[in-house]
Structure 1
């Protein structure tokens, strides 16, 4: 099969694009509004983009609450979604009115960031505290702006539960990070963990 994306004539029941670019880590983004309200939402358009400095990015399809809060306050958190939290992650994705506390909605404990004024999921095995560095609305080849807005944040604090540390490393079989596949499919990243060494030449 081959098709050009201007026609998008793939002949399938659902667009396969996001199924090809997978698995995608889930950024469970915690923010606080200027009114003091808490917000928690999962984003599968999320990833690390730099190690020096440590920068992560999440992309909001449209102007959602996480974007609004990150823009206005300049901070956000990203909590790790592990297999034991997947149902509560899903519950926090509900489309609710601004100001509704998804921590409470999903039965989660909000914990205040140590260096940023944004909450993270206390039950998560790991969480990143971030300060916004850039907000970008990418453009297509036709020059028109995307409907998605990318929020970049430098990681200024990292929380890791001792429960998942073994021999000086995070044990991924204990952490069991959940990733988004295509369609409504998810994957448990801790079920088949193996190592590969890069070639030396």
Structure 2
């Protein structure tokens, strides 16, 4: 596949993803990267404004170009964007995270206590509240999607029922017209004696 074809395929993939799907993919990937570190060679962004139009298709991250959606005050996506903003601030390179993990394992093997980064109770509470808000936002988004799809399904079922009734009505009318056509042919044949089909 040429570079141009690859680019077209990626653009089509981006076009098919909804804003919610893009944000959920970002949230999942950034959460993973906070734990494992950002892979080497990825030029990641650490602020919402910098990450606004940033894409990294190799890792399933596609830009959200609309500032209306990429906004912490957005009715539909604000909570998820805020959660992404918090995760962006915590991103660190893969090598740095791995060094810390190795140091923690080494300290544990030697029987030493791993150095603990102190966070205040307020910071932990704020982080928990942020996470709860983000989860609440995701739940609201999912619930809204469910209701939209539910209403759409109800409408489709009503339309399908109406189409079935219309189809049955057309079949009855067609049968009646065929019967009338046959009766007229018989009448014509009986009067003239010979019936000729004219095309």
After TM superposition, the score normalised by the length of structure 1 is 0.26
Structure ranking higher in strand proportion: 1
Q: Larger Rg: 1 or 2? A: 2
After TM superposition, the score normalised by the length of structure 2 is 0.26
Structure ranking higher in helix proportion: 2
Which structure is richer in relative contact order (CA contacts within 8 A, separation 6 or more)? 1
